[in-house]
Structure 1
Amino acid sequence: MMTSSAATRSRSLSMFSLAAAILLALTCAPRGPATKRVERDGVAAWVVAADAIPTQGPLARAQAGDIALSDNDIIIVVSQASAGGRLIDVGRAADEGYDYLGGLVPIYDGRFEGAYTIESVDIADSPDTHLPSIVARGADIEEPRLTVSTRYEILATSHTVLVTTRIVNETTRPLACTVGDRIMWGADNVFVPGHGNIWRPSNAVTTSTWLCSWQDSFTLGITTGGGIIEAEYSRNETDLAYRTAELKPGSDLTYQRYFVVGDRQMSSVCEFASRLRGAALGWLEGEVRETGTNNPVADCRVEVLEGPATQIRAVPYQLTWLYTDETGRFRIALPVGRYFAWTRPAIGRDAPVMGISYDVSAGSMTTIKKPLQVSPMIMLNYEVRDKETGELLPSKIVFESYPGLRQVDFGPDWHGPGARNAFLSATGQGSINISLGRYRVYVSRGPEYSIYQEDIDIRPASQNQMRATLERVIRPEMIGFKEYTSMDLGVRTWASPDCRVSPRDRVTAAAAEGVECLVTGDVGVATDLTSAIEQCNLSKWVSAICGRRIQWFGAAARGEFLVFPTRPGQPKPSQMRRESNARSPSDLIRSIRAANRGSLVSACWPMDEVRGYLATHGFKTDSGELPPALTPAAMAFDLLEVLTWRTAAGPLNHQAYTRLVRD
């Protein structure tokens, strides 16, 4: 399946495989779990409730009826039978359940021609630990006598999820199969020892004993108890093959894999995989210090590389990495061998490329006597002014590295003031930590201002300066208005379960992008950004209106609405219940109107096929009729969001919008 010979073998196999989740409900009426919650020895499994989704983030897929499992350190969610019975969310309690995984589907042929029906997803005790676990059971659509069950359990002492799949062949013919998993990656990066980072789309094929997806402060490592993992990568997913076997009639096959859930210390994945496979381990320790001052450097990435012992001049390959503690020190467990260690410092520092080699022996500690070094912090001093008035302007500064140079990454998308390669300045003046190199820098402040561009060489021990001016290119009178206000409706903060942006970062981003008024749209609560605006001294540039996002899950359809202005805080519990229990679209709109007299109601994402109010009620953009459920009372909202991504239900184009407004 993965190598050329394996691919030929895979194509010759039978068509038995696990299907995509969207096919599952078509062939079998699933039954839900009988038990709502089980807790024992610190491990709990429960059916997710609509008002208590345990994971968050754009990739979090948990919904009411799915099953969660947690030990107060790791949390996972397996979707209910009607949604595929697959692993959809993995998070850490330290990150408030923030999920970076797209999903996982066990496969036993490497292809999806056949369909696998999930018949049940239940809470059950693990036969080994006797702790709660989640079990998904089903059968092949084409051959119901071929059954597959997958158990998900948490091994609390090692921060690991153990996934065990059992295939039972009760047919009259043998089944040749390659067992594995199809993983829909959520994290942007996949690291493979001996290969390094696999950038997607890659169409790469790798072999290794473990691999790891990583992003920000999260790692998800994958390994097995033995053998080689063959991995074939496409744009957003990877097929993993663990082994090939022939399953005779009346026999069964069980395979296990371990998902190591951790923070950004990828060394924990390497150590777990090595111990699991019985490798002899030793330790390597050292420290990182700043050149010139000799001060210890905390939070510095140390990369460990290993070279083939039989090839003296061979180029070492990247094995794993870890970060220094608050004293600048690091310690890592490694299999016996010869290693190199170098630093990959945070943005704003520079470091030598390579150190000397170090031998690690079984059961002993190898200490790097000379500290690894990084440069003092390198900075770019900047100011951004209005070309006409000379006034300092809040602005966005984007860094584009020249080819061959290290890419700028200030932090996660939700992080401020720097996120990925963009820095958001609330004041228009200050200093930015930036690594040595040549950059093309873009300075902007939304569509009303010009864009400033400059090529900058960042050098050590020098005053790196940038002075930008922006010209106001759009004014109200230019487009036929006396005045206007630039607004962003429905912005979220970390008060929503799927957002990690702080209120201060949200208002800073608005000022930097030229947005004059923010209407908040957190789920279930009206967030007041006034204090954040005052703390950031942005009252001159940004104002805010309290709004609340309402997510409705009806019996046959869904909807998402924004109501504003409204009182800050949470509404009364009775109002929340009336909204969530509304039996029809018209009941929902009436309930919102009654509790928010004088407010505006906006339908959000109306044509999204999963949560869109119009799409899930059956509205078609090429039809001249509204579905029966969308009565005048059900359509009694004020605003309709039209700039949405193209979906399977179709975009809400101008003609359809005009017809809806007229109706």
Structure 2
Amino acid sequence: MIRSPERPLRPTAVRARARRPSSPAGLAALALACATCAPPAQNGSVVVSSGAAERLGMLCRWGHAGAEQGDLCPRADGAARPARVRRIAGPADALSGPLAAGRPGDHVLENDEIAVVVEQLGPGAGLAESGGHVIDAADARARRDELGQIVARLGVPARQAVYSELTTGAGEDGSAWIEVRGRGGAGGALSVTTRYTLGPRDRALVIATSIQNDGSAPIEGLDLGDVVHWGAAAPIAPGSAPGSRGEREAPYVAGVGTGVAYALATADGAPLRARSGAGFSDATFARPAALPPGGRAAYQRILAVAPRGDPLAVATELFFLGGGAPGGVALELVDARGAPLPPLAGRATLTRVAEEGAAPAAGALDLWLRTGERAPLAAEAPPGLYLVGFEGSGRRALASARVRIRAGEIAPARLALSGAGQLDIVLHERGVPAPAEDEDLFVPLTPAKVSLLDAATGKAVSPPHLTLTGELQLSLPPGRLRVVASRGPEYALAEATVDIADNTRARLDLTLERVVDTAGYIGCDLRQHTAQSADAGVNATERLVSNAVEGVECAVTSEHNLALAADLRRDTAILRLDAKLRVLPGVELTSDRRGAGIGSLGVFPLGSEAAAPREGALRWVDKAAGEILREVRALPGERVVQVSRASAGGSPLHAQAPPQGAPDQGARLLAQIVGDGAGADALEVWTGRGVAARDSALEELWALLRASRPVTPTATSDTHGLLGAEPGYPRTYVGVADDDPGRLDAADLVAGLRRRRDVVITNGPFVTMRLGDTRQGGIASMGRGSRGGPLSLSIRVERAPWVDARELHVLVGGVAAGAPIPLEGARTTPAGALVDEIAIPVVLGTGGGRRPAWPDARAGGAPGRSRPGQGAHHPVRVAEDTFVVAIVRGRRPLEPVLSGDPAEILPFAMTAPLWIDADGDGRSLGRAAAP
């Protein structure tokens, strides 16, 4: 529905026990749909209710984590102060929280209920091309922000509004507003106006955007919406679990944090179309036909801020905003004998019971209880009949409680919970000495990830547990568990089966052992994000711990369009990880010019030459990738420039591809900025779990190499979260002189990626390759100018026992050289790794070159000359300069260390190209031999 921005929304007070509007439309219908998952109404007027003073006093009692009532309740006379807008002058004016980005000069729009920060004009934060967007939002009393940013999205592919004017004002009804104006769309043909309005008591910000086509041609593909980067909040939609991805039609999208939640909904109750990915939601509110010259369109939506971080808070807030009168539920948790239990962390679920023939709800509403935060054992809820359950802290409800919640009343729910057992896990690392008794200050770090699986079914009973010190104390439900400890692909698993009994304590000692020999290489994740990126919600400590438990030795924090904000060296030292993990600050710069972007450029390491966030020399707005590259190369010092792609489910604001209909343009752009000495050094060919994208990127890599554009292939996790986006899967091993993370020479790492190009990319197996004395990444000469006789291609595949590796594929010039070679772990090292060693002669001759002749022993060659996985194989013949790559594939997913789609977690590893100089002139496809 297209609405006119000249008709502003008018907040309407609704008493707690007042009748709902006579029409079940507008936000009342939307809110009821949120609570019951019934189809929302799609007609009627807009109603955003106020009346916070009449909410049964429940916000005063529970909504703010137990603060004193006198600080929370409205004044006795019920009067509300007007909403106001002001500029941030110092830290005291801004919001707090893991993603709070407000700084002096930004604008705060607030009342006594919520506070919202709109960024000042100028360079935008995160993926925003300008200021003028919402960057912070919080409860006005707690003032803790967990939101990333909200950016208006115009069209498909996404185009942003770039704002250049900002005004503020106040209404006679006590509301306050901020209005921004600018341009957007292809060639800036659209004039865009967005107004943010907040009433005196509303917990919802009204956002109204209007556009006009000032160009001479119609504009098509104008999906009108917002891209929300949820930051520290997990995206949800009705009937879905937090963090769920995919596309759906729903009455709202939301994000739930630890102490606050947000909901974005249409202002007229109509459903919206939303696609959610890793930390973002792309919501479409209107889809007008082509906008003719001079044509106008508009759309309105609301951003609701709930004072608690769980799905129940979201549903209740929208219900109240729609004019509904909530009730409440009070939980009493007891043991099987009826004795009261202490505060427990867990999840209480309210499942709506169908009444009078109505369809049952699609999903439960969750109330999350967090110990240590004075979390409520009571909360508001929409009226209705519910089944209340509980699970957490190793306990579960023995039976659900049936409660009737009525408007203005508190319904008690008494839940008897099962007993729980205690499991203490102590992790050791073989070869690391235990501390002496008098070494009280010495704490040996044994980082590990511990997965708990049902011993009978193999299903996970909880998310993985992470530990830095090798100690865990877990409350668990009774039963038999398989406990698996891991520390990345270089380590063997440590596992055991244990029986957990009610009200008993068990201890389990496990020993981790590093079995894979990666001497001379350091395992790096060259692109990952923390809460400093608007689309990630992982704080510095969580990010460092997640790297350590996965065995990552070098990590690059590549925040979106930021620089110094992600320098984690101090945090690394505080956690005593600086001997095990080296963190390099970097930046991810997105090229936004339409048709000129190929994704983003990662730049690392950065130091004092890069300026503070949003004010740096590394500018990206309205620049093509080549222009950004020239600015980077003009900076003092040496650094790596990596061409990156958006990971699967990445933000639609992250430009990554040329327009449809120009399939060759991306390849041409890529060829212009890599492999020419001053261009990009590395090409990210594997991002996160994007297997299909990896295969496509490899074809681009082969084309670049054949075109004499040498480039280093890399693999990164591009992680924005934790579970399902673990750091180091995949990772890039870089050949360095000293592979000790505590002594890593950053300049040597840069040289390894820029010049030596000696890398291995993998999510499990470790594969290396030599031709004579030349390792992958180098150039081996075998023509007239070379010394010695025929050369042998030596390939070594090593992996931990839990990592599968079945096939070795050798590609020459990007083309498979014969059938895959089977691998079977022909040898076991003293440490316990499985090893295959393959030798393949490489000779000069016809029939080779870029399409070599390699007879398959199973198809008429000489069978039986070598066992699978070791010995000599039939020769590869080359007739001209070319390159060789070794690829290893496995067939068994990397479970239980990783979980998810099995096809996305199959083992894969690849060497860097090894260039072959066939004519002996010291060069091969743009690669020159070292003097």
SS in 2 for 1:270: helix
The match for 1:271 among 296, 316, 319 is 316
Q: Aligned residue for 1:427?
A: 469
Deviations 1:223-247 (A, max 9, x none): 45654535565767565568999x9
Q: Aligned residue for 2:305?
A: 261
SS in 2 for 1:656: coil
Tell me the amino acid that sits aligned with residue 382 of structure 1: I
The answer on 1:396 being equivalent to 2:448 is yes
Q: Closer, same or farther in 2 for the Cα pair 1:382/1:485, shift >3 Å?
A: same
Q: Closer, same or farther in 2 for the Cα pair 1:199/1:168, shift >3 Å?
A: same
Decide whether the 8 Å contact of 2:555 with 2:584 is kept in 1: no
Matches for 1:112-261 after TM superposition, within 5 Å? 112=156, 118=161, 122-126=165-169, 128=171, 131-136=176-181, 149-155=193-199, 157-166=201-210, 181=225, 186=230, 188-192=234-238, 195-197=239-241, 200-201=244-245, 204-206=248-250, 208=251, 210-214=252-256, 216-224=258-266, 227-229=269-271, 231=273, 256-261=300-305
The match for 2:349 among 303, 309, 313 is 303
Aligned mates of 2:209, 2:533 — CA distance in 1: 35
Decide whether the 8 Å contact of 1:225 with 1:277 is kept in 2: no
The match for 1:656 among 698, 707, 710 is 710
Deviations 1:484-515 (A, max 9, x none): 77677899887899887666666655654445
Aligned mates of 1:196, 1:520 — CA distance in 2: 30
Decide whether the 8 Å contact of 2:106 with 2:117 is kept in 1: no
SS in 2 for 1:278: coil
Aligned mates of 2:398, 2:356 — CA distance in 1: 26
Matches for 1:158-557 after TM superposition, within 5 Å? 158-166=202-210, 181=225, 186=230, 188-192=234-238, 195-197=239-241, 200-201=244-245, 204-206=248-250, 208=251, 210-214=252-256, 216-224=258-266, 227-229=269-271, 231=273, 256-262=300-306, 263-289=308-334, 294-297=340-343, 299-311=345-357, 318-319=364-365, 321=367, 323=369, 329-345=376-392, 347-360=393-406, 362-363=407-408, 365-368=409-412, 371-375=414-418, 378-386=421-429, 394-399=446-451, 401=453, 421-434=463-476, 441-454=483-496, 458-475=500-517, 508=545, 512-514=549-551, 523-524=563-564, 529=569, 533=573, 542=579, 549=586
Decide whether the 8 Å contact of 1:386 with 1:471 is kept in 2: yes
Deviations 1:47-85 (A, max 9, x none): 9xxxxx999989x9x999x98655484335599899499
Q: Closer, same or farther in 2 for the Cα pair 1:651/1:280, shift >3 Å?
A: same
Q: Closer, same or farther in 2 for the Cα pair 1:405/1:166, shift >3 Å?
A: farther
Aligned mates of 1:580, 1:271 — CA distance in 2: 44
Aligned mates of 2:592, 2:568 — CA distance in 1: 32
Decide whether the 8 Å contact of 1:425 with 1:512 is kept in 2: yes
Q: Aligned residue for 1:23?
A: none
Aligned mates of 1:521, 1:112 — CA distance in 2: 26
**Aligned-pair CA distance for 1:470:** 3.2
Aligned mates of 2:565, 2:160 — CA distance in 1: 39
**Aligned-pair CA distance for 1:380:** 2.5
Q: Aligned residue for 2:841?
A: none
Deviations 1:201-231 (A, max 9, x none): 555445x5x5533355552213456545355
**Aligned-pair CA distance for 1:394:** 1.1
Decide whether the 8 Å contact of 2:170 with 2:177 is kept in 1: no
Decide whether the 8 Å contact of 1:76 with 1:91 is kept in 2: no
Tell me the amino acid that sits aligned with residue 164 of structure 1: A
Q: Closer, same or farther in 2 for the Cα pair 1:651/1:166, shift >3 Å?
A: same
Aligned mates of 2:266, 2:615 — CA distance in 1: 46
Q: Closer, same or farther in 2 for the Cα pair 1:157/1:512, shift >3 Å?
A: same
Decide whether the 8 Å contact of 2:326 with 2:380 is kept in 1: yes
Tell me the amino acid that sits aligned with residue 161 of structure 1: L
- Larger-gyration structure (1/2): 2
Decide whether the 8 Å contact of 2:423 with 2:506 is kept in 1: yes
Tell me the amino acid that sits aligned with residue 339 of structure 1: Y
Matches for 1:488-637 after TM superposition, within 5 Å? 508=545, 512-514=549-551, 523-524=563-564, 529=569, 533=573, 542=579, 549=586, 560-562=603-605, 592-593=636-637, 601-606=638-643, 620-621=670-671, 626=676, 630=678
Q: Closer, same or farther in 2 for the Cα pair 1:382/1:309, shift >3 Å?
A: same
Aligned mates of 2:577, 2:214 — CA distance in 1: 69
Q: Closer, same or farther in 2 for the Cα pair 1:530/1:581, shift >3 Å?
A: closer
Aligned mates of 1:454, 1:279 — CA distance in 2: 53
Gapped regions of structure 2 (runs ≥ 5): 2-38, 43-81, 216-220, 435-443, 594-599, 621-626, 647-653, 657-664, 688-692, 713-752, 756-926
Deviations 1:416-443 (A, max 9, x none): xxxxx33333333442344566665432
Decide whether the 8 Å contact of 1:530 with 1:544 is kept in 2: no
Aligned mates of 2:411, 2:421 — CA distance in 1: 29
Deviations 1:570-594 (A, max 9, x none): 78999x999669999888767644x
**Aligned-pair CA distance for 1:134:** 3.3
Tell me the amino acid that sits aligned with residue 277 of structure 1: G
SS in 1 for 2:710: helix
Aligned mates of 1:166, 1:492 — CA distance in 2: 33
Decide whether the 8 Å contact of 1:303 with 1:341 is kept in 2: yes
Q: Aligned residue for 2:153?
A: 105
Aligned mates of 1:120, 1:251 — CA distance in 2: 20
**Aligned-pair CA distance for 1:560:** 2.8
Deviations 1:250-278 (A, max 9, x none): 99886543211344144443333223332
Q: Closer, same or farther in 2 for the Cα pair 1:253/1:385, shift >3 Å?
A: closer
Root mean square deviation of aligned Cα: 6.3
Aligned mates of 1:442, 1:279 — CA distance in 2: 48
- With normalisation by structure 1, the TM-score equals 0.60
**Aligned-pair CA distance for 1:355:** 0.6
Matches for 1:86-101 after TM superposition, within 5 Å? 89=135, 91-92=137-138, 97-100=145-148
Aligned mates of 2:581, 2:363 — CA distance in 1: 52
Higher relative contact order (CA 8 A, sep 6+): 2
Q: Closer, same or farther in 2 for the Cα pair 1:461/1:587, shift >3 Å?
A: closer
Aligned mates of 2:536, 2:177 — CA distance in 1: 30
Q: Closer, same or farther in 2 for the Cα pair 1:76/1:573, shift >3 Å?
A: closer
Q: Aligned residue for 1:16?
A: none
Count matched residues.
Answer: 555
Q: Closer, same or farther in 2 for the Cα pair 1:166/1:316, shift >3 Å?
A: closer
Q: Closer, same or farther in 2 for the Cα pair 1:255/1:220, shift >3 Å?
A: same
Aligned mates of 1:492, 1:140 — CA distance in 2: 28
Decide whether the 8 Å contact of 1:221 with 1:259 is kept in 2: yes
SS in 2 for 1:460: coil
Decide whether the 8 Å contact of 2:83 with 2:175 is kept in 1: no
Tell me the amino acid that sits aligned with residue 357 of structure 1: V
Q: Closer, same or farther in 2 for the Cα pair 1:408/1:155, shift >3 Å?
A: farther
Deviations 1:88-114 (A, max 9, x none): 7555487875445675537xxxx859x
Tell me the amino acid that sits aligned with residue 492 of structure 2: S
Aligned mates of 2:182, 2:533 — CA distance in 1: 33
Decide whether the 8 Å contact of 2:389 with 2:399 is kept in 1: yes
